[in-house]
Amino acid sequence: MTWIYYALTALSLSVGWGIRGNFGHEYGAMLPGALAALSVACLSGRDDWAKRASQIALFGALGWSFGGSISYMQVIAYTHSGHSPSVLYGFACLFVIGFLWAAPGGVGTALAATLNRTRLDTLYPPMLFVFGAWWLQGLVLGPWLRSDNVDLNWYDTDWIAAGLGVLVGLVMLVIRRRADEGLSLLLHMAIGWWVGFVVLVLILGLRMTPPRGDNWAGCLGMVCGIFVYCWRWDFVAVGLGGLVTGLIGGISFSSASMIKLVGMTSDLETNWHSVLEQTTGLIHGLGLAVAMALVARRTPLLTDPPRDRHWRENFAVFFVLIGITYLNLSKNPPEWVKQKAMAATLYDLSPSTWFNLGYLAISTALLILLARHARNPLLCIPASPVGRGQLLYLTLLWWMVAGNFDRALVGFSEQRLITEGVIQINATLCTLGLLLGVPSRSRSILTVTTITRSYLQKVALVGVLVSSLAIVANWAIVRGLYGDQHAKHSGLSIRFGPNATILRPR
């Protein structure tokens, strides 16, 4: 792997993470996952990965999305508190959150990159049925329950979505009477979520940031379920991808907060939260690059036979270009109306309705083009797999950079330059790195060493030791700089002692 591979993957996730901060939650987290996964596919030097670029982007995006459900601003506030136990607790919890966010991202990317076609295809039916269930949840189930005055806020968690995951998995299991790789993954994730939430929150009463939500507990159970799945199915390479990405991601989440606090001692007034976000994404991306480089050197080339029907690849392209962009940019029209940059109605229709109609036209056009390309390749689509991956990357990147700027423009101030300005410069560097950094030839011999379970155990042990040192170092640096002083740019939040600011949970 060249240095451009590591730099581009890190910078791709940083750009995506900076944009994610403006849109938030699971939908926003899909963007950095997709961009970084596409960087891996294009610059790894593996033609088999380049051929799967759209699918690697799809599952990379989904893997990184789950962490968007975890509340973490309260934890960051603990590191600002000046209260020594709370500062240490804050950095430790940030590591946990970072690990839980990054590990599924590494798993999703590695799954699409290493599973043979037959196994990879099994992931689609459970995924699509769960998507359908979640769509019905938002359209029918949620509004119906709220109309009956049912309080759905159970520790502010995604318990309904996780429950639907279990329900879909069990129904499919009853119908099929067996669990293939895809269905097994769904059940391990959904049941794992419930085990984590029930044991940690309901039974043990552990709450990371009361009164904020406890999705962290469900995600912890889900990530454990994912690793159990990898162990049972002997997907050791996938486990390695998730473990390394998770460990470096945990260090990223914890250390980025320390870096921000160090920078704040300069007394420079800027958007320090955006500095935190983009630094987090940068180290996250480096973690994914390192993890996938290890996987690339230890897994054989995939030899997928030609496919007559391309619906999976087309679905992946459609989801990356339309799904990710729509789910995020559809939040722009309400922001334009809120900032009084646009009227609440235009020809008796809301801006959101016009936005949806515009996206419907774009979606229809893309479906027509994908169908045509499957029968008779379009001249504008590159013939090489790497070229197609580059086109997908650049289209997604600049689509979201422009859409993010549109969102910020109506309330732009000089402090936005540290966000939108840096994002634009970094996106330009990503464009250069992607087009200039492709290896001159693909690697033909990749199986250097095999990945054993004992190797994973050693990686986990070293990771725990290094992570522990990083947490303590972050705490020591901040304590040395601030002592008992409360750092600005955050409200006072103390986790322990008589001056604790936490509230009673619902």
Per-residue pLDDT at 505: 42
- What are the tokens at 452? 């054993």
- For 137-155, write each residue's pLDDT tens digit: 988 888 888 888 788 888 9
Mean pLDDT (whole number) for 436-443 = 72
pTM for the model: 0.93
Q: Distances from the Cα of 324 to the Cαs of 62, 313, 318, 329, in angstroms?
A: 10, 16, 9, 9
Percent of the chain with pLDDT over 90: 74
Asked if 86 and 493 touch (Cβ cutoff 8 Å), the reply is yes
H helices present in 123-265, as ranges: 124-136, 142-147, 159-176, 181-197, 215-232, 236-264
Who wins on pLDDT, 442 or 339?
Answer: 339
Q: Give yes or no for a cis peptide into 211 (omega within 30° of 0).
A: yes
pLDDT band at 2 (very low <50, low <70, confident <90, very high): confident
- Residue 126 φ then ψ, to 5°: -60, -40
Mean pLDDT (whole number) for 351-364 = 96
- Residue 486 φ then ψ, to 5°: -75, 125
- What are the tokens at 203? 């039974």
- Residue 320 φ then ψ, to 5°: -65, -45
- What are the tokens at 195? 């085990």
- What are the tokens at 78? 């603990």
H helices present in 115-158, as ranges: 117-121, 124-136, 142-147
Name which of 303, 246, 264, 249 is nearest 460 in CA terms.
246
In the three-class reduction of DSSP (H, G, I as helix; E, B as strand; rest coil), residue 346 is classed as: strand
The DSSP secondary-structure symbol of 214 reads -
CA-derived radius of gyration, the chain: 22
**Residues present in the chain in total:** 506
Name which of 494, 498, 485, 488 is nearest 86 in CA terms.
494
- What are the tokens at 201? 């929150």
Percent of the chain with pLDDT over 70: 97
Q: Is the dihedral of CA 487, 491, 492, 494 positive or negative?
A: negative
- What are the tokens at 421? 């300005």
Name which of 309, 331, 317 is nearest 396 in CA terms.
317
Name which of 240, 304, 255 is nearest 450 in CA terms.
240
Least confident interval from 193-202, 360-369, 490-499: 490-499
- What are the tokens at 403? 């859409």
pLDDT band at 454 (very low <50, low <70, confident <90, very high): confident
Contacts of 75 by beta carbon, 8 Å cutoff, 6+ apart:
90, 93, 94, 97, 208, 209
Name which of 418, 387, 470, 91 is nearest 272 in CA terms.
418
Task: Quote the mean pLDDT of the chain.
Answer: 91
- What are the tokens at 84? 């020594």
Q: List the helix and strand counts (H, then E) for the chain.
A: 21, 0
- For 274-316, write each residue's pLDDT tens digit: 888 999 999 999 999 999 999 998 898 888 777 766 789 999 9
Q: For residues 248 and 467, give the distance between their C-alpha atoms in angstroms, rounded to a whole number.
A: 8
